[in-house]
């Protein structure tokens, strides 16, 4: 019979999966040892299980929705508009820039710069360049390679 902390993928236990299994089992054992180390056995089981339930509940609540992680709340300082099922900032632009040996590399770096900063400032739902409004990109070739700059109004998909 396999343990509760065992991980099984595709019906096989490979070397990597075995290491992961041992890590998960070790983590489960460590949690139980810490919880039961300083109290009587009968009382500690009830307290320990209550602590585990509380910890799991708090950890799940702190993660938020797996589909749309929490927003920072800073986006509320800007005016929004609804367009095609998404919410966009009405007149606030974000900018990103990047360099690369090819135009495509520089464009990807600029988009990544835009997306990372926007997600950091407003939260992950706002940091998707693919759904941003009013996108504009300019690129140029210089002696050190390509440089690109992007600007766009952040949008979230809901």
**pLDDT confidence bin for 110, thresholds 50/70/90:** very high
* Whether 89 contacts 154, CB under 8 Å: yes
Phi–psi pair at 60, nearest 5 degrees: -65, -40
Give the residue among 121, 135, 114, 127 at the shortest CA–CA distance from 156: 127
Please tell me the class of the 74-156 domain.
Answer: alpha beta
Distance CA 26, CA 141 (A): 54
Tens digits of per-residue pLDDT, 67-95?
556 788 899 999 999 988 999 999 999 99
- For the question of whether the overall pTM of this predicted structure is more than 0.85, the answer is no
Name the CA dihedral angle for 17, 21, 22, 24, rounded to a multiple of 10 degrees.
130
């Amino acid at each position: 019979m396999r343990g509760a902390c065992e991980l099984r993928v595709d019906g096989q236990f490979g070397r990597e999966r075995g290491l992961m299994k041992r890590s998960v089992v070790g983590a489960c054992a460590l949690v139980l040892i810490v919880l039961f180390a300083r109290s009587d056995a009968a009382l500690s089981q009830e307290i320990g299980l209550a602590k585990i339930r509380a910890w799991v509940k708090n950890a799940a609540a702190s993660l938020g929705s797996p589909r749309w992680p929490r927003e920072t709340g800073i986006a509320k300082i800007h005016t929004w508009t609804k367009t095609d099922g998404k919410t966009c900032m009405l007149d606030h632009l974000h900018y990103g820039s990047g360099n690369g040996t090819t135009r495509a590399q520089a464009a990807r770096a600029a988009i990544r710069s835009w997306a990372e900063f926007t997600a950091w400032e407003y939260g992950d739902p706002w940091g998707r360049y693919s759904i941003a409004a009013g996108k504009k990109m300019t690129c140029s070739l210089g002696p050190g390679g390509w440089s690109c700059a992007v600007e766009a109004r952040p949008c979230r998909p809901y």
